[in-house]
Structure 1
Amino acid sequence: MRLRLSRLHHPVTALGPGRRVGVWVQGCVIGCPGCVSRDTWVAGPHHDVDVDDVLDRVAALDPAGLTGVTVTGGEPSEQPEALAALLTGLRALGAGHDWDVLCYTGVELDEFRARCPGAYPLVDALITGPYRAGEPTDLVWRGSANQRLVPCSPLGRRRYAPWVDARRDRPELQLQVDDDRVWLVGIPGRGDLARVERALQAQGIRLEGVSWRP
């Protein structure tokens, strides 16, 4: 099984509780205006990787040091079979370690279930709905006020119920450096992207090919 993959980061602490693996899939036809991850919209054959290769990368990490996995993108529901294969493998890797799976989707809950009948039972919590730049929010892990955090399993309800209506004092962002690229991980608030650019420029780092601009 092949998955259109953008990137994988670890540790991720800004997209879900605890220390997590972040899996960004490639390809999204929704194209929300103002999306911070425009670089994940267009997919091609060069993004295809074996699901087993992704699982091998996760397996190389210390499972005891992980709380779970966050799958985002891109739009995971556009790859239902590959997503189901990925989540099945992640379940096996996390067995005995109480990992949870949090998945972002730009569609609503019922549509995700219809698109991904094999993957939905393997998800502990979903963050649903398209990003709407005109509806800012301080709800934790969400970019706009319309988006919902939906616990989907007993583990999901136990772990995520306290966060459904939780609000953050300020956005939590991470910077991950990979070769000559700097990746922003997290949900930025208004003005945060410009502040990040200014802070990097003050250190002599100029951003080119920024993912949140056309």
Structure 2
Amino acid sequence: MSAWLWISQTHYPVHALGPGNRLTVWVQGCTLSCKGCMSRDTWSADGGVETSVEDLAELWRSAVGQGADGLTVSGGEPLQQADGLSAFLAAADEVRRGAARELDFLVYTGYDEDELDEPRRAALSLADVVVFGRFEVANPTELVWRGSANQRMVPRTELGELRYADFIDYAPEQGPLQIEVRGNDPWIIGTPRKEALRNLDRSLKGVGLRITDTTWRP
């Protein structure tokens, strides 16, 4: 029987959620509902598209063929689909074991390590690095690839240690952001710093563009 994940979006290449060019998969559905979350559109369990693990693995295989450096899974809340995530990372691992270079898996979760039950721990067994912790809008950070200062980037494998050690305490002058277009709508990828989204609103209005809807406001 095929395994499935409810998916909000996928995109390649992404260079704002981990090192290098990455396939990024955003799952659909999150009940943690962190105040100030920039991805409120991924909260509802009624949204997104049910996607087979086989189809997602093929997307990953294609990205690897195009030179991907790694895979990032975000959301939504990936660990609220623990069985599907576990199956997907297992399929993605089969692909990377056939690659001629090392490829890492990075997973974002709003849960802390002490909240992991057995299915959630199993789902992260193949992750090289996990960013743990809920987003706290009142607790900003300049650390790369994290949205708030409480969030912890934890390497879990030798590859994770090797590739991410220099990023644990790294705070670049400007946080990496990427802007793509979905249909006619701009789409921001990354972990914006405090006031970045408000400043973006102002900048767009300053050039005559009126923002009528965003994913980070109710």
Measured against the shorter chain, the TM-score band is: over 0.9
The alpha-carbon deviation at position 113 of structure 1 amounts to: 5.8
The equivalent position to 2:152 in structure 1, one of 148, 158, 178, is 148
Measure the CA separation in 2 of the matches of 1:22 and 1:188: 17
Equivalenced residue count is 214
Measure the CA separation in 1 of the matches of 2:128 and 2:20: 15
Matches within 5 A, 1:106-145: 106-112=110-116, 114-145=118-149
1:114-156 CA-to-partner distances (Å, cap 9, x unmatched) read: 3423322110000000011111111111111111000001111
Q: Which ranges in structure 1 are unaligned for 5 or more consecutive residues?
A: none
For the residue of structure 2 that corresponds to 1:22, the secondary structure is: strand
Measure the CA separation in 1 of the matches of 2:91 and 2:67: 18
Percentage of matched positions with identical amino acids? 40
Q: Compared with structure 1, are the counterparts of its residues 92 and 204 closer, same or farther at alpha carbon in structure 2 (3 Å cutoff)?
A: farther
The alpha-carbon deviation at position 204 of structure 1 amounts to: 5.1
Residue of structure 2 in register with 1:7 after alignment: 9
The equivalent position to 2:24 in structure 1, one of 22, 25, 38, is 22
The equivalent position to 2:173 in structure 1, one of 155, 169, 175, is 169
Q: Compared with structure 1, are the counterparts of its residues 46 and 128 closer, same or farther at alpha carbon in structure 2 (3 Å cutoff)?
A: closer
Measure the CA separation in 2 of the matches of 1:90 and 1:27: 21
The equivalent position to 2:34 in structure 1, one of 15, 24, 32, is 32
Q: Compared with structure 1, are the counterparts of its residues 46 and 194 closer, same or farther at alpha carbon in structure 2 (3 Å cutoff)?
A: closer
Name whichever of 136-145 and 190-199 sits farther off.
190-199
Residue of structure 1 in register with 2:80 after alignment: 78
For the residue of structure 1 that corresponds to 2:116, the secondary structure is: helix
Residue of structure 2 in register with 1:90 after alignment: 92
The residue identity in structure 2 corresponding to 1:72 is: S
Q: What's the TM-score once normalised by structure 2's chain length?
A: 0.91
The alpha-carbon deviation at position 63 of structure 1 amounts to: 3.0
Measure the CA separation in 1 of the matches of 2:179 and 2:78: 23
Residue of structure 2 in register with 1:200 after alignment: 204
Name whichever of 56-65 and 3-12 sits farther off.
56-65
For the residue of structure 1 that corresponds to 2:216, the secondary structure is: coil
Q: Residue 41 in 1 paired to residue 43 in 2?
A: yes
CA contact (8 A) 1:113 1:120 kept: no
Name whichever of 165-174 and 119-128 sits farther off.
165-174
CA contact (8 A) 1:197 1:207 kept: yes
CA RMSD of aligned residues (A): 1.8
CA contact (8 A) 1:106 1:129 kept: yes
Q: Which ranges in structure 2 are unaligned for 5 or more consecutive residues?
A: none
Measure the CA separation in 2 of the matches of 1:152 and 1:144: 21
Measure the CA separation in 2 of the matches of 1:85 and 1:66: 20
Residue of structure 1 in register with 2:106 after alignment: 102
CA contact (8 A) 1:107 1:129 kept: yes
Measure the CA separation in 2 of the matches of 1:94 and 1:18: 16
Measure the CA separation in 2 of the matches of 1:99 and 1:160: 12
The alpha-carbon deviation at position 62 of structure 1 amounts to: 4.5
The alpha-carbon deviation at position 202 of structure 1 amounts to: 4.8
Name whichever of 99-108 and 194-203 sits farther off.
194-203
